[in-house]
Amino acid sequence: MKIRFKLNGREIEAEVEPNTLLLNLLREHLHLTGAKYGCGIGECGACTVLLDGEPILSCLTLAVEVDGREITTIEGLARDGELHPLQRAFLEEGAVQCGFCTPGMILTAKALLDENPNPSEEEIREYLKGNLCRCTGYVNIVKAVKRAAEEMAR
Amino acid sequence: MSMWINRIDTHILPINFQYHAPKTLEEALKLLAEYGDEAKILSGGTDLLVKMKQRLIEPRHIISLRNLTELRGIREVEGGIHIGAATKLREIERSQIIAERLPLLHEAVKAIGSIQIRNMGTIGGNLCNASPAADSAVALMALGAELHAQSIEGERIIPIENFFKGPGATALKPVELLTAIRIPPPPENYGWAFRKIGRTSLDIATVNAAVLLTLRGGRIDLCRIALGAVAPTPVRAVRAEEHLRGREPTPELIQEASELVVEDISPITDVRGTAEYRVEASKALVRDALNLSIERAGGGGR
Ligand SMILES: Cc1cc2nc3c(=O)[nH]c(=O)nc-3n(C[C@H](O)[C@H](O)[C@H](O)COP(=O)(O)OP(=O)(O)OC[C@H]3O[C@@H](n4cnc5c(N)ncnc54)[C@H](O)[C@@H]3O)c2cc1C
Ligand code: FES
Ligand code: FES
């Protein structure tokens, strides 16, 4: 089946099977390996991408279902070689350890800041609760989101 | 979370099926009439794809609701509040109408999964999946919701009490689609509460409960209590409701009523909790929910 969608700002056309998962289309066919396979059943958030700006799980999304929509992956956040403030803040606050959860974590955090530019710690933890970090770096992750929020407010 | 007992590779969707994305409701109903038993509706996919990955179900046809905008949205209508079956949980959570008119449903929906799950999952999927633990189900039972089902033969309205038939089973025929949920206008000055116990805040409920009640002249008038994850389907605690109706809500009465919930539940032991735990948790949740509801109805809680 032929599908067309916007991926990180560019129009894409792809040939997929009905049972192709969005995660596998991104990783295996389009070679965007930012989104990760963690659990495959909706519980870890490692495969999070933005669909029309909202975080969703690409491990539970059929590729055909994004026909005509817009997908943003972690590869699409930097602008002209400049990291997104969230990406910078994650590095500066040591919120990245093994990095496996980081793409999903940052994309979910981006949706949070787009909707609520100045979230409290509680709001950050609630919004990010579907993104598990097995290195358990939650304290620094919260700090990084706060720091990015402050920078983006400037 | 079944992550640790999943014996199957969930990298891929190991099932072949034909994918249909009808453009109109009529077209969808025709497809259902044609494929019935062999077809599954795909709404948000957060239950369906998990089950297909684990090969618990292997449909030959998938009928996607993605193009059916007529199945989406929330609006006030004459008979109450109308919610399209394919409305995303996140849209319900964000809806002003729901927050103001049906805070009970707002709270229950907010308790479902994560942001990602609520961006994908729909209210119709939560009901049609027929998990005994579905969070929206107990709230909608307490609110006395009606479910609108359609097939090419026409429409039928199913009171939510008659909708659930067992784990994963509903009153829908294979050719029927759930199109909407209709919630009657709630009574004036009603009190309500939603309570959920889960192992983690992301998990489905070990027990959940919803209460809606009104007071008249200091006595309990209308009263609905619904419990989830303690029977093959979400259930009403009818005996407890009867015990409360027409009586003054003293602490003793509330205690008696919460003990009576055992008459209407039949919990099992599973990975989320033992049957014994569920019995005790049900009593405690109902007692708390009743007290909060009475307070919210203006009856001075305790
Ligand atoms: C990590 C995780 C956490 C979760 N947490 C919770 C939780 O806390 N509480 C909770 O209640 N649930 C939870 N769920 C379950 C699930 O997300 C919800 O039940 C969700 O509302 C399902 O909606 P959906 O649109 O994704 O359904 P789908 O998966 O698309 O469909 C579910 C079933 O209903 C059928 N169906 C869907 N729509 C219709 C229709 N209109 N007419 C007829 N049949 C239909 C489908 O064929 C399928 O059998 C969780 C799931 C995951 C993966
Ligand atoms: S891989 Fe998608 S949620 Fe874990
Ligand atoms: S940094 Fe390792 S999982 Fe989060």
Answer yes or no: is B159 within a domain.
yes
Please tell me the distance from the alpha carbon of residue A60 to that of residue B73, in angstroms, as a whole number: 23
Q: B166: left (phi > 0), else alpha (psi -120 to 50), else beta?
A: left
Last residue of one domain, picked from the residues B63, B83, B103: B63
Residue B152 sits in a domain whose CATH number is 3.30.465.10
> Residue-wise over B66-91: b if at least 16 C-beta within 10 A, else e?
bbbeebbebeeeeebbbbbbbbbbbb
Close Cβ partners of A130 (under 8 Å, ≥ 6 residues apart): A45, A48, A55, A108, B113, B114, B115, B116, B117, B202
pLDDT at A100 over 60: yes
ipTM: 0.98
Last residue of one domain, picked from the residues B183, B203, B233: B183
Q: Residue B126: in which H helix or E strand, if any?
A: helix B123-128
Within the 27-46 window of chain B, which residues sit less than 8 Å (CB to CB) from chain A? 42, 45-46
Sheet of strand B207-216: strand arrangement: B191-197, B207-216, B219-228, B235-236
Q: A60 vs B50: CB contact, 8 Å cut-off?
A: yes
Q: Are residues B78 and B165 in the same domain?
A: yes
Q: Are residues B162 and B77 in the same domain?
A: yes
Task: Please report the number of interchain residue pairs, chain A to chain B, with beta-carbon separation below 8 angstroms.
Answer: 95
Q: Are residues B77 and B178 in the same domain?
A: yes
Residues of chain A in contact with residue B19, where contact means CB-CB under 8 angstroms, are 1, 18, 62, 64
Any ligand 3 atom below 6 A from CB of A138:
no
Q: Provide the number of structural domains found in chain B.
A: 3
pLDDT at B302 over 70: no
pLDDT band at B100 (very low <50, low <70, confident <90, very high): very high
B222: number of Cβ within 10 Å:
16
Any ligand 2 atom below 6 A from CB of A134:
no
Domain that holds residue B113: 73-183
Q: Which of A44, A48, A90, A100 has most ligand 3 atoms within 8 Å of CB, for mutation?
A: A100
Please tell me the distance from the alpha carbon of residue A71 to that of residue B155, in angstroms, as a whole number: 37
Q: Are A147 and A114 in contact (CB under 8 A)?
A: no
pLDDT band at A136 (very low <50, low <70, confident <90, very high): confident
Please tell me the distance from the alpha carbon of residue B180 to that of residue B158, in angstroms, as a whole number: 11
Domains delineated in chain A = 2-76 (3.10.20.30), 85-153 (1.10.150.120)
Mean pLDDT of A45-59: 98
Residues of chain A in contact with residue B15, where contact means CB-CB under 8 angstroms, are 19
pLDDT tens figures, B148-166: 999 999 999 999 999 999 9
Q: What global pTM score does this model have?
A: 0.96
